[in-house]
Structure 1
Amino acid sequence: MAETRKASRFIVPVAVAGVAAATIGLVPALAASGDPDLPEITAQQLIEKIAASDTQTLSGTFKISTDLGLPLGGLTSALGGIGGGPSTADPSAKLTELVSGSHTLRVAADGPERQKLTLLDGSDEYSLIHNGDDVWAYDSKSNEVFHEKAPAGADAPGAHEVPKGKELPGTPKQLADEVLKAAGDTTSITVDGTAKVAGRDAYQLVIKPKQAGSTVESVKIAVDAASGTPLKFTLSSVEGGKPVVDAGFTKVDFSKPAASDFTFKAPEGAKVTEGAAEKAAGEKAAGEKGDPFEGQLPEGLEGVFGDFGAGSGEGGMNVIGEGWTAIAKIDSGAPAPKTDEAPKEFQGLLDSLGDKVTGKFGSGTVFKTKIVNALLTDDGKVYVGAVTKDALVDAANSGK
C-alpha cells in the first residue's frame, strides 16, 4: 500500500492523458467516398440542425485511431504494475486502451436507458452494456464480468444514472455539443464542403481557435444531412502529422435495435466483480480518506493526482485565461518529487515525456502530448491546458 501511495505522486503524465481522453470521447470519423452535392447551408444553420437533432436509436460499427504523441503503451504497462486491478473487465481501466492506436467497435443505442459498446480485438471481445439500472462489462479474454448497480428505487434521485466513472463513452452529438460551447469571439466556425460517411450524405463543420498558443489546429465534425446527427469527429494538432483523433462510422443504422441486444447474463464459470463491493473495500483500505482534489479538477483529472497535497491543508484549482488557451493551475502545497525517487518503472517514462524548463517562476518539467501539456514546477505547482509549452511557462511566470 505504501508503494502504491508513493507511486501515485509521479503520475502527472497520466493527468495529461486523462484530460486528452476526456476531451476526445468515443466518436466516429470520416469514411470518405466522394463528396455529395447538397444544398448550401451556413454554419449557423448547421449548428441549429445539430442542436435540433434528437437521434435516440442507432446501431453500427466505427473505427477510432488515436495519436496523442505519448508512449501510452509504456505508460499503461507501468501503471498496470502499481496497485493492480480487481477486475480486467472494469470499464475505468479497460477503456483507457482507446486513447492509443486503432480500434474497431460495435455500438447500439436505444434512448438514454440502453446502450451497448463492444470493443473488438482480434478474436477477443470486450462489451460494455447499460440497461436501465445496471451496467455490465465482460472481458472474453479473461472471462471476467464487472457489474455496477445504480441506486435502488425507480423514483430515487439518480436511480437511472450510470455510476460515475462507469459511463459509456460519449456519443458524437454529446462531443459536438461540448465543442460548440467554445463558439464565440475565440472561435472560428465554418462549413467546409460535404462528405460521405458510412454511405450517408454529410456536411463538414470546421471549428478553429482564433487564439494564439492553442495546440488545437482544428476540429472537424461531419454532420448527417438528413438528421443532423454528428457522424464524424477529427481532432488535429498544430504539430501536424496524423490527427490526434480520427474516428468514424463505417456502418450506421438509425432504426431501433432489438431489446435482446442489451440483455446480459454472465457466462458459466466467469468471475463476477461487483462495483459497489469493490468501492467499499477501497474506502476501507484507504481509511475512508477522501481525494483532496475531488470536485475541483476538470473531468478526466479527478483522482489522477493521488497524494499531491494530501494532508497539507493546501491545494485547489485556479483557471488562468479563457477559451482555447485556458490553463488550470493546481497548487499541491508540497515540493515536486524528484525523478530519481520515482519507482523504476516510471523513471525512463518520465524522462521521455518531460522537457526541463526554467523562468521567473524557477524551474520545472513540461510533460507533453500533441494536445494537452502540463508543467510541474519544482515547488509543486501544476499548470495544465491544451496550450503550447511557451504558454505554460508564461502562465507560471505571471505568478497568477
Structure 2
Amino acid sequence: MAPYASDDSTHAGEADDLRVGRRKAARYVVPVTVAGVAAATIGLVPAIADSGDPDLPKITAQQLIEKIAASDVQQLSGTVKITTDLGLPDLGGLESGLLSGATGETDGSSADPSAKLTELASGTHTLRVAADGPDRQKLSLLENAAEYSLIHNGKNVWGYDSSSNEVYHSTVEEGAKEETPVPATPKALAEEALKAVDTTSVTVDGTVQVAGRDAYKLLVKPKQSGSTVGAVSVAVDAKTGLPLKFTLTPASGGAAVVDAGFTQVSFTKPAASTFDFTPPKGAKVTEEDAAEAPEHSGELAEEDFGKDLAGLNVLGEGWTSVATFDTGGEGVPSSDDLPAEAGGLGGFLDSFGDKVTGEFGSGTVFSTRLINALVTDDGKVYVGAVTKDALVKAAESER
C-alpha cells in the first residue's frame, strides 16, 4: 500500500523499502486472481456508523502519526466488520475452482489460512479478534452457521474450519509475529498506508467516535497523478493511538473500496482459554510440511506453469508504484488453453479485460475500482493501484 508524507511541515523520514513477497502463478490463473490478491494485500472494509464529534485537544498531523507509531497495545479483544467493494464480477466460485485445478492442490486443507482468509477480499464479513502479547493472537471469521478460526499460541498456529471439520497446523518460533495472508485489522491496514514517502498529503480531519471511543481522523491523500486511490481516512483512538477504523475511497468516487473498523473493542486482558485449541474428534488434521509438498502431475505440474517469482520487481515509488513479474507463460490464455473446470472462462476473460498495445507489444488490462493489472502477450504481469495508462507506461519503461 502506498505511504505518506505530510504536506504541512510533517516529515516522516526516509521512505521505507517496499517489501515484496514471492509468489508462484500459472499464466491462466493470473488474470482472474491477480487483482483480488493484490487488493487483499492492500486492504479490507466495514460499513460502520460513526457517531459524535468529540471535543478533543488540538493535534498536528505529525503528532498524530507519532501517536500511531508509539501505540503499543498488547492486549485487546473485539469485533471488526469488514466490507470490500472492488467492483469485481461474481465468479460464482469459479475462481477458487480454477486456483485449485491450476496448482494441483485439489486435496488441500480448507483450513489453510493462505486460502481461507483471501475471502476477506470481497463482500462483507465479521471478525472476532483477540490478542495477548506477541505469542497469543486469535482471529475468527464468522460465517453462516459456521466459523473459521486462526489461532497463534506460543509455537503453535492452528487454522480450524468448522464447516468441513478440518484443521491446519504449523509451528513458529516463540516471540515471532504470526502474520495472516491479508491485513485483517485497522492497525495493520493503517501501517501499510503510512509507510513514508514524499508523495502524500497528510492532515488531521476532525474527530469522531468509533466503537464508543473518542478518536482523531487522519486524512491521507496521494499527490501523484495516476493513482486509483482517492484518499485514506484513519480513525485513531485518542487515548491509546490504536487505529480503530480504516477507510479507502477510490479516485473515481463512489462508495469506499475498503472500510474496516471495530464495532466493539476492549483493552482488557483476554482469558488464557481464548487461545487454547485441541483438534475436535474426527477432524482431518493437515500438517504444514505435508501441505507444502503436494504431488503434481500432467499438464498442471509446477515446472510447467511457472517458476519461483524471486524476480518480482517494483517500478516507481509511492502511490504509483507498480509490481511486475514474469509468469514464464504466454499471456492471457484462450479457451483451448484452460483446464476443463474453467468452462467458458476464456470468453469471460476477453470480455472482462481491455486489449492494449504499446512499445512493449500487446496485452490485456484487467481492472477493478482500485487495482489494475496488465498481462502482456509474452507473459509479463504489471499490477498496482494505478490507472491503465500508468501500467502501459510502466511496461514500456522496461522495454
| TM-score, length-scaled by structure 1 | 0.83
Deviation string 1:305-357 (CA, Å, 9 cap, x unpaired) is: x824x49xx98344322111112232445532532322343324423431111
Compared with structure 1, are the counterparts of its residues 41 and 315 closer, same or farther at alpha carbon in structure 2 (3 Å cutoff)? closer
Query: Residue 155 of structure 1 corresponds to which residue in structure 2?
Result: none
Matching of residue 20 in structure 1 with residue 20 in structure 2 = no
Letter in structure 1 aligned against 2:189: L
Gaps of 5+ in 1: 1-6, 151-157, 293-305
Deviation string 1:125-157 (CA, Å, 9 cap, x unpaired) is: 11111101111111111111111123xxxxxxx
Aligned counterparts of 2:190 and 2:330: Cα–Cα separation in 1: 39
Deviation string 1:10-51 (CA, Å, 9 cap, x unpaired) is: 111312221110111x67775302211111111001001111
Counterpart secondary structure, 1:10: coil
Matching of residue 229 in structure 1 with residue 251 in structure 2 = no
Cα distance, 1:123 vs structure 2: 1.8
Compared with structure 1, are the counterparts of its residues 199 and 162 closer, same or farther at alpha carbon in structure 2 (3 Å cutoff)? closer
Aligned counterparts of 2:260 and 2:332: Cα–Cα separation in 1: 37
Deviation string 1:161-203 (CA, Å, 9 cap, x unpaired) is: 3677x5684543333222211x342100011111110000001
Counterpart secondary structure, 2:27: helix
8 A contact 2:117–2:182 mirrored in 1: no
1:101-112 superposed matches below 5 A: 101-112=123-134
Q: How many residues align?
A: 364
Counterpart secondary structure, 1:9: coil
Counterpart secondary structure, 2:190: helix
8 A contact 2:40–2:183 mirrored in 1: no
Given candidates 297, 306, 322, the residue that maps to 1:327 is: 322
Letter in structure 2 aligned against 1:97: E
Cα distance, 1:114 vs structure 2: 0.5
> What is the root-mean-square deviation in Å for CA atoms of aligned residues?
2.7
Deviation string 1:252-287 (CA, Å, 9 cap, x unpaired) is: 0011100000001112222222222222x32x6489
Query: Residue 76 of structure 1 corresponds to which residue in structure 2?
Result: 95
Query: Residue 295 of structure 1 corresponds to which residue in structure 2?
Result: none
Given candidates 249, 252, 260, the residue that maps to 2:262 is: 249
8 A contact 2:41–2:183 mirrored in 1: no
Compared with structure 1, are the counterparts of its residues 320 and 167 closer, same or farther at alpha carbon in structure 2 (3 Å cutoff)? closer
Gaps of 5+ in 2: 1-24
Matching of residue 11 in structure 1 with residue 9 in structure 2 = no
Compared with structure 1, are the counterparts of its residues 261 and 28 closer, same or farther at alpha carbon in structure 2 (3 Å cutoff)? farther
Query: Residue 220 of structure 1 corresponds to which residue in structure 2?
Result: 233
8 A contact 1:364–1:377 mirrored in 2: yes
Aligned counterparts of 2:351 and 2:310: Cα–Cα separation in 1: 28
Given candidates 268, 271, 285, the residue that maps to 2:281 is: 268
Aligned counterparts of 2:59 and 2:378: Cα–Cα separation in 1: 52
Query: Residue 119 of structure 2 corresponds to which residue in structure 1?
Result: 97
Aligned counterparts of 2:328 and 2:144: Cα–Cα separation in 1: 46
1:114-129 superposed matches below 5 A: 114-129=136-151
Compared with structure 1, are the counterparts of its residues 146 and 316 closer, same or farther at alpha carbon in structure 2 (3 Å cutoff)? closer
Query: Residue 397 of structure 1 corresponds to which residue in structure 2?
Result: 396
| TM-score, length-scaled by structure 2 | 0.83
Given candidates 200, 203, 221, the residue that maps to 1:187 is: 200
Given candidates 342, 354, 365, the residue that maps to 2:338 is: 342
8 A contact 2:26–2:329 mirrored in 1: no
Aligned counterparts of 1:219 and 1:349: Cα–Cα separation in 2: 32
Aligned counterparts of 1:334 and 1:162: Cα–Cα separation in 2: 35
Letter in structure 2 aligned against 1:111: G
Compared with structure 1, are the counterparts of its residues 87 and 227 closer, same or farther at alpha carbon in structure 2 (3 Å cutoff)? same
Compared with structure 1, are the counterparts of its residues 72 and 45 closer, same or farther at alpha carbon in structure 2 (3 Å cutoff)? farther
8 A contact 1:188–1:210 mirrored in 2: yes
1:28-177 superposed matches below 5 A: 30-71=48-89, 73-74=91-92, 75-79=94-98, 82=101, 83=104, 84-150=106-172, 158-161=173-176, 169-177=183-191
Deviation string 1:32-76 (CA, Å, 9 cap, x unpaired) is: 022111111110010011111110010011110001122364453
Deviation string 1:343-389 (CA, Å, 9 cap, x unpaired) is: 34332442343111122322110011222211111122222211000
The alignment-based identity, stated in percent, is: 62
Aligned counterparts of 1:109 and 1:360: Cα–Cα separation in 2: 51
Compared with structure 1, are the counterparts of its residues 353 and 85 closer, same or farther at alpha carbon in structure 2 (3 Å cutoff)? farther
Aligned counterparts of 1:34 and 1:163: Cα–Cα separation in 2: 35
